[in-house]
Amino acid sequence: MKHLKLLLSILCLFATFSMASAQNQSATKIAEWERAKAYTKEYLDAMPESGYSLKPTPEMRSFADQMLHLTDANYGFTATATGEKSPYGLGDVEKTKDKSKANVTKIVMAGYDYVIDALKKLSPQQLDEKVKFMNRFEMTKDMVFTKDFEHQTHHRGQATVYLRLAGVKPPQEKLF
């Protein structure tokens, strides 16, 4: 009986540590998305209004389109992970007519808020659930958010070239 109580105490302690670790991982993920949002805002702020239509080559997206594409994915990936209907259809954010600095900034920031709010609602157990991504890839909801993070980082990184072409110094790297 004494050994059973000790074993149960150890198991309860382990469960408590596991739950605390999972909650800490969720908090870290949210903090990383908040950092990414702030970093992207620095890019949006750095580009002058005239640079929002800048295209390095004719076949490339404009700076505004690059940022709207990033946001389209934030909505689409998050909707896949949560199972909720996105407020935008696939590609609709990029079709925004008003590509002014103020409007693009508003839309992009709202897209980050959509991701962050969704993460705040999901438990660590829900993040471990599997979903079908792009109707082809089975992965955890957590991995969908990881792929989205990689996608937004990629397109924000591309925007560095746009800023340089506009004669603007890109924001200081924001790893932490």
Q: Quick one: pLDDT band at residue 174, thresholds 50, 70, 90?
A: confident
pLDDT at 134 (0 to 100): 83
The per-residue pLDDT for range 4-62, each reduced to its tens digit, is 565 555 554 444 444 444 556 678 999 999 999 999 999 999 999 999 999 999 999 99
- Residue 131's DSSP bridge partners are 139
Q: What residues form the annotated binding site for a divalent metal cation? A: 69, 151, 155
- Computed over every residue of the chain, the mean pLDDT equals 90
- Mark the binding-site residues, compressed into ranges: 69, 151, 155
Rounded to two decimals, the pTM is 0.85
What average pLDDT does range 68-91 have in this prediction? Answer: 95
How much is the pLDDT for 16?
A: 45
Radius of gyration of the CA atoms of the chain, in A: 20
Of the candidate CATH numbers 1.20.120.450, 2.160.10.10, 2.40.50.140, 3.50.50.60, the domain formed by 29-165 belongs to 1.20.120.450
Listed by start position, the domains of the chain span 29-165
Q: Which band of pLDDT confidence, cut at 50, 70 and 90, is reported for residue 1?
A: low
88 close to 75: Cβ distance less than 8 angstroms: yes
Read off the pLDDT of residues 147-173 as tens digits, 9 standing for 90 and up: 999 999 999 999 999 999 999 999 999
Q: Which residues pair with 88 in a beta bridge?
A: none
Residue with the bigger pLDDT between 117 and 176: it is: 117
Backbone angles phi, psi at 145, to 5 degrees: -65, -35
